[in-house]
Amino acid sequence: MRLTRCFVPPPLSAGDRRRLPADVSAHVARVLRARAGERLTLFDGRGGEYDATILQIERGGVQVRIELHRDVERESPLRVTLLQALARGERMDFIVQKATELGVAAIVAFGGARSVVRLQGAALARRCEHWRAVAISACEQCGRNRVPTLTVVADLAAACAQSDAGCVRLLLAPDADRPLSSMVRETAPISLAVGPEGGFGDDEIALAQRLGFQPCTLGPRVLRAETAPLAALAALQAIAGDFLS
């Protein structure tokens, strides 16, 4: 039987006793209806995972004993940073969730020139926390022990500045001349820029090209904003990641 996996903020340490955070305790006790003596798998985002046993379930939270640390990693050998223009409503949640499952190392969300969503101040902070929770939940489900970093910046120029030095810089554009598959080097990290529902504007494409991004296409069909990044990530994992290993 697969054990329930829970993210717990660091640090975790073998041999410690720990009360799980309130939200994790509520999930374990009320949603999963776990009982004392049952086992969990915990991870804190620093690598590896821990076996744990539930000691007590109290009104104040779930007490666990942290046991063996297992040096298990399920990260892709291909480091991909997804530069994703903000999408409407649950589409952005879907992108964050599935990109995490597909092994993305970092997500940089930005306001595209044609983005419908505009977030500032407290609303932006709330959405960032929400998307981080979505990524954590996806890690719990898919077995990853490292949560992808998630940041939000103002525009495409600021997002491009988050790219790793020496990475392959790609920008999805339906009318590009070259396919994505022809532009991937097996060992190089990748920054992948994806536009909003209306796509990138001409000025954004020109800006990205000045910053070293190369337009590429996934094929003859125009994909929806929530489909394009996930199709690209799956293709990258098949070409240079761990889908076929």
CATH code, 47: 2.40.240.20
Mean per-residue pLDDT, 232-241: 96
Mean per-residue pLDDT, 208-212: 97
Q: Is residue 57 domain-shared with residue 129, that is, in the same domain?
A: no
CATH number at residue 202: 3.40.1280.10
C-alpha 78/C-alpha 99 separation (Å) is 13
Q: Is residue 36 domain-shared with residue 126, that is, in the same domain?
A: no
Q: Which of the four pLDDT bands, split at 50, 70 and 90, describes residue 122?
A: confident
Mean pLDDT, the chain, as a whole number?
Answer: 94
**Is it the case that residue 6 has pLDDT exceeding 80?**
yes
| CB distance 161 to 205 below 8 Å | no
- The predicted pLDDT at position 100 comes to 98
Q: Is residue 17 domain-shared with residue 88, that is, in the same domain?
A: no
Each residue of 142-186: pLDDT tens digit?
999 999 999 999 999 999 999 988 899 999 999 999 999 999 977
**What is the strand order of the sheet 4-7 is part of?**
4-7, 39-43, 49-58, 61-70, 17-19
DSSP run (H or E) holding 55: strand 49-58
Give all strands (DSSP E) within 154-239, no chain letters.
168-172, 190-194, 214-216
Q: Is residue 144 domain-shared with residue 211, that is, in the same domain?
A: yes
Ramachandran area for residue 227 (φ above 0: left; ψ -120 to 50: alpha; else beta): alpha
DSSP run (H or E) holding 83: strand 80-85
Mean per-residue pLDDT, 120-136: 89
Q: Which of the four pLDDT bands, split at 50, 70 and 90, describes residue 1?
A: very low
Q: Is residue 60 domain-shared with residue 107, that is, in the same domain?
A: no
Q: Is residue 235 domain-shared with residue 130, that is, in the same domain?
A: yes
**Is it the case that residue 116 has pLDDT exceeding 90?**
no
